[in-house]
Amino acid sequence: MADVSSIFMKRYLVLLGNNPPFFTNKGYTIEQFAADLGTNRSYASRFVNKELGVTFSTLLNKLRLAHFIRQKSERPDATIGDLAKECGFNNAFSFRRAFRQEYGTTPSEYFK
């Protein structure tokens, strides 16, 4: 899968550069990701697991959280809830849970 992985990686990096980024779509699925990579669900999932070292849902959360932190730094007056929604989280609970899991603290404490 080495050659295919490098193709997928190039396509993945292009996706990351899209504006808005693919992961900000609240309903973004592994099937959509696979279509964006030009493959099927199984190969897309295998690529994420093996090459990126995480599950698809974990990848989305990590990308969304990093985007959230960038956005909050650039727009400090924006509310945490509004930014979380803009970054693709469905609700405040899933955002807070993902944030605490990734950074070991709440968003409010992180930005103090």
CATH code where residue 52 lies: 1.10.10.60
The count of domains in the chain is: 1
37 sits in which H/E element: helix 30-37
Left, alpha or beta for 38 (phi > 0: left; psi -120 to 50: alpha)? Answer: left
Q: Distance between CA atoms of 19 and 12, rounded to whole angstroms?
A: 14
Find the farthest-apart pair of alpha carbons in the chain and give their distance in angstroms, rounded.
Answer: 46
Condensed to tens digits (0 to 9), the pLDDT of residues 72-94 reads 999 999 999 999 999 999 998 99
Average predicted confidence (pLDDT) for the chain: 93
Q: What is the pTM of this model?
A: 0.91
Q: What is the pLDDT of residues 58-68, one digit of tens each?
A: 999 999 999 99
Residues 36 and 22 sit within 8 Å (Cβ to Cβ): yes
* Residue-number span of the structural domain to which 10 is assigned: 2-110
Q: Residue 43: pLDDT band by 50, 70, 90 thresholds?
A: very high
